[in-house]
Amino acid sequence: MTIDTGNTGFMLLCTSLVMLMTPGLAFFYGGLVGRRNVLTIMMQSFVSMGWTTVLWFVFGYSLCFSGDVGGVIGNLDMAFLAGVDLMSPSPVNPSIPLIVFIAYQMMFAIITPALITGAFANRITFKAYMLFLTGWLVLVYFPFVHMVWGGGFLQQMGVLDFAGGIVVHNIAGMAALASVLFVGKRRIKDRGPHDIPMVALGTGLLWFGWYGFNAGSQFSVDGVTASAFLNTDIAASFAAVTWLIVEYFTTRKPKFLGLLTGAVAGLATITPAAGFVSPAFAAIIGIVSGFVCYYAVALKNKLQWDDALDVWGVHGVGGMIGILMLGLFADASFNPAVGANGLLFGNPEFFVIQLEAILISSAWAFAATYGMLWVINKMTRVRVEEHTEHGGLDEALHGEIAYLEHT
């Protein structure tokens, strides 16, 4: 194998950027909750960096990318990264070492379950979360990585997902919805975000890291890489401004938090399409994302689903409409090697395939998550006791507090 140092260096940079997204998510979520629950939700992101890495090394990578069992999951031939050496080539680009590909995909595995934690903020025990983190990776995330990116049946069907609209955002969003419905409403709701500047810091880190998330998913440095990079920023920007405008006409005030949330919605929505559409369609995707995700959150509020940090409305709905709009707007001229034409370019079959992928992934993620929480609740209490929820989870669960209380 001849290593392309340019591609390899770029992928190491992108891996670092995606790693940075998990601390960014911790700050984003940490600023949105109350003062007495900051450490709990931030720890749920940070502990994924440790535990998911352990699982990825032991068997996660192998289940995703080694062999095939029924088109749904891999095998254990590469458990403990067996057979990986300095000269092993990446399966997607032989000029990149396999060890770089393993590290890059590991960062995706780390952040995906952490996204779900915003839905059940302030409500679940740490023991239950660790069981949930483990089970969800095994039963939902690893299978969908294999099905979409590892040679499984969805990939064989012709499903396209450039950087994780299905594999990351849709399944995380549907898992969030299942979690909300199982765990139930908070007894004590936060009075509002306790630190919006912290949310802004988290958004900045997420936006910055998302260039590695999307552009890195080309696994080389070429025109598609640059297009995915540009499309990422265009969609985020148009979504942020759209959300800001819609909220202004609703509340008569331009809300900073709305601008930040809109940007994240746009980033989630462009993810599956980033390397398959033109910049003009990326702008349209951003506008649709800002509008639809805003009203998805409004619908959630009307239905009184206590999705504390709007995981379903932003990531679930964003990933879903991103997959659909890829089915509409995909332009093979922007990715001649593996791209496809969408419905607007005369290929209705591809749109149907993307729609089927949404239905399959949504049903699987929702059912598996709800069932898993039911089983976990039989093993150990999922929801914290009432007095713990009233006093805040940080001190009760972890014996630490984020801020000294003034008396």
Q: Each residue of 114-148: pLDDT tens digit?
A: 999 999 999 999 999 999 999 999 999 999 999 99
Is 228:271 a contact under the CB 8 Å cutoff?
no
CA–CA distance, 332 with 318 (Å, rounded to integer): 23
Q: Residue 407: is its pLDDT beyond 70?
A: no
**Predicted TM-score (pTM) above 0.75:** yes
> Could you give all domains of the chain from N- to C-terminal order, each with its CATH number?
5-398 (1.10.3430.10)
137 by Cβ neighbours in 10 Å (0-12 / 13-18 / 19+) ranks as: buried
Q: Kindly indicate the confidence band of residue 406, based on its pLDDT and cuts at 50, 70 and 90.
A: low
pLDDT score of 192: 84
Distances (CA, A) of 262 to 15, 238, 255, 293: 25, 9, 11, 8
Q: Residue 190: is its pLDDT beyond 70?
A: yes
Residue 144: count of CB within 10 angstroms of its CB: 28
Long-range contact set of residues 253-258: C-beta below 8 Å, sequence gap at least 24: 256/196, 256/200, 257/193, 257/196, 257/199, 258/294
Q: Residue 188: is its pLDDT beyond 90?
A: no
CA–CA distance, 115 with 120 (Å, rounded to integer): 11
Q: Looking up tokens 């995606």, which residue turns up?
A: 18
- Residue 31 tokens read as 């600023």
Q: Residue 166: is its pLDDT beyond 80?
A: yes
Q: Residue 189: is its pLDDT beyond 90?
A: no
CA–CA distance, 407 with 404 (Å, rounded to integer): 9
pLDDT score of 377: 97
Q: Each residue of 49-74: pLDDT tens digit?
A: 999 999 999 999 999 999 999 999 99
Of 294, 364, 322, 291, the closest CA to residue 165 belongs to: 322
Q: Each residue of 247-285: pLDDT tens digit?
A: 999 999 999 999 999 999 999 999 999 999 999 999 999
> Percentages helix, strand, coil for the chain, rounded to the nearest 5?
70, 0, 25
Of 201, 191, 202, 61, the closest CA to residue 137 belongs to: 61
Q: Each residue of 316-374: pLDDT tens digit?
A: 999 999 999 999 999 999 999 998 999 999 999 999 999 999 999 999 999 999 999 99
CA–CA distance, 64 with 229 (Å, rounded to integer): 26
For the chain, the average pLDDT equals 96
pLDDT score of 302: 95
* 167 DSSP 8-state letter: I
Residue 238: count of CB within 10 angstroms of its CB: 23
- Helix intervals (H) in 150-255: 153-157, 171-183, 196-215, 223-251
pLDDT score of 283: 98
Q: Kindly indicate the confidence band of residue 228, based on its pLDDT and cuts at 50, 70 and 90.
A: very high
